[in-house]
Amino acid sequence: MTPLEVAVSVLVAAGVFFVFVGAVGLIRLPDVYTRAHASSKADTLGAGFALAAVMLSFGFSSQAVKTAVLLIFVYVSSPTAAHAISRAAYRSGVEPWTAGDGDGGEEG
Amino acid sequence: MIDGALMYGAAAIAALAVVVMYRVVKGPTMQDRIVAINVIGTSTVVIIALVAAALDQPEYLDIALVYALLNFVLSIAVAKFTVDRGEVL
């Protein structure tokens, strides 16, 4: 294996790992705020690593620049969208989960 | 070898996107569903980019860019739609 192959494989694996973490957070956490918190951070990192792998495999070219633009856009837009959704949830009266609510989860 | 790694990554992320559909179906609030849809959209963008690199089809990156833009606009629009006076940003 060449160093490039190793680097691309490691970056793809890291991206899949963080998308997995985001999916687990989205399924397991108790309310919309914690879910947005987990999914936006893990998903941004996952997209970052995976798109870095894409950039590396395209090499030094205009495609790599296009992928970098895509990466910057995902980095800016994903947390902004999560913030807007959380704020919409707060405005429409979704109560934040607290330790007193017990396991919460499915109903909360 | 590189193509294989990128393709396997795309397949794994697609499987995880299907798992996230659980939250879209289950809810319970509208905002939970939007968060999950947003995650699926980001996963789709990543999958398109990975497939573009694996098949060496750079035109697919344009589609990924447009999809990322649509995904963002969709999240903001639906978030605004669920609030009465619409000040979400």
Here the ipTM equals: 0.86
Out of B2, B19, B46, closest to residue A8 by CB? B2
- Which pLDDT belongs to residue A85? 87
Cα(B33)–Cα(A29) distance, integer angstroms: 14
Structure tokens at A56: 């590396």
| Residue A80 one-letter amino acid | T
| pLDDT, tens digit (0-9, with 9 covering 90-100), for B49-67 | 999 999 988 889 999 999 9
Answer yes or no: do A80 and B72 touch at CB < 8 A: yes
How many angstroms separate the CA of residue A98 from the nearest CA in chain B? Answer: 17
Instruction: State the count of interchain CB pairs (< 8 A) between A and B.
Output: 172
Cα(B35)–Cα(B55) distance, integer angstroms: 30
Q: How far is CA A61 from the centre of its chain?
A: 26
How many angstroms separate the CA of residue B67 from the nearest CA in chain A? Answer: 10
| Sign, Cα dihedral of A83, A85, A88, A89 | negative
Q: Which residues from B are below 8 Å from A63, CB to CB?
A: 58, 61
Number of domains chain B contains: 1
Answer yes or no: do B39 and A23 touch at CB < 8 A: yes
Out of A50, A77, A88, closest to residue B50 by CB? A50
Residue ranges of domains in chain A = 3-93
Structural domain that includes position B74: 2-85
Print pLDDT tens along chain A (108 aa): 788 888 889 999 999 999 999 999 889 888 888 888 888 888 899 999 999 999 988 888 888 899 999 999 999 998 888 888 888 888 887 778 877 766 654 444
With a pLDDT cut of 70, the percent of chain B lying above it is 93
Q: Which residues from B are below 8 Å from A75, CB to CB?
A: none
Q: Please answer whether residues B36 and B17 qualify as being in contact, where contact means their C-beta atoms are separated by less than 8 angstroms.
A: no
* pTM score of the predicted model: 0.87
| Sign, Cα dihedral of A24, A29, A31, A32 | negative
Cα(A11)–Cα(A18) distance, integer angstroms: 11
Q: Which residues from B are below 8 Å from A40, CB to CB?
A: 35, 38
Residue B43 or residue A99, greater confidence: B43
- Which pLDDT belongs to residue A49? 92
Question: Closest Cα partner for A47 from B8, B3, B13, B36?
Answer: B13
